Structures are given as C-alpha cells and as structure tokens.
Amino acid sequence: MAISTGYEKAWATILDSNITTLIAGIALLVFGSGPVRGFAVVHVLGILTSMFSAVFFSRGLINLWYGSRKRLGRLTIG
C-alpha cells in the first residue's frame, strides 16, 4: 500500500517538472534554428522517454519485486 501511495503522490511532481521542461524544449524548437532545433527534438524525445521509464517501468519493476510479498519486514533501498 505504501508503494502505491508513494507513486500516486510522486506522479504530480514528475508530471509538473517534465511538462515545464517540455515547454522549454518546444520553445527551442519553435524559435531556434539549425543545431538548436536538432537539440530541441532530442531534448523533447529524451524527456518523454524519461517520464515513461520513471513512471511505468520503475513502478512495474517495484510491483514485480515487492508486490507478491504479503508482508514486508523492512524495505531496503540502496
């Protein structure tokens, strides 16, 4: 239950920070030229990939690892 609650509360922060960065990347794409536009495309794709992996992949991995256990004695991180 703690894992589920943690991901629900973290979702707003992850989304907010990535949308803010996406706005900057889109501004570079619209107003930039040449290599700046190329950087903007890679930047936006990187942010989308990062957001996908931070939310879906890590949550699935944690649920796979800890989700099958009935009761945890302790949760070691690191």
pLDDT band at 45 (very low <50, low <70, confident <90, very high): very high
Residue 76 counted as domain residue: no
Q: Is residue 72 part of a domain?
A: no
Does a structural domain hold residue 51? yes
| Domain limits for position 21 | 2-66
Annotate 36-68 with DSSP letters as a single string. Answer: HHHHHHHHHHHHHHHHHIIIIIHHHHHHHHHTT
In a domain, 41, yes or no: yes
> What pLDDT score does 71 carry?
65
Indicate whether 47 belongs to any domain.
Answer: yes
pTM for the complete prediction?
Answer: 0.64
Q: Is residue 77 one of the residues assigned to a domain?
A: no
For residue 31, what pLDDT is reported? 94
Burial of 59 (0-12, 13-18, 19+ CB in 10 A): middle
6-10, 40-44, 70-74 — which is least confidently predicted? Answer: 70-74
Query: Structurally, how many domains does the chain consist of?
Result: 1
Whether 34 is covered by a domain: the verdict is yes
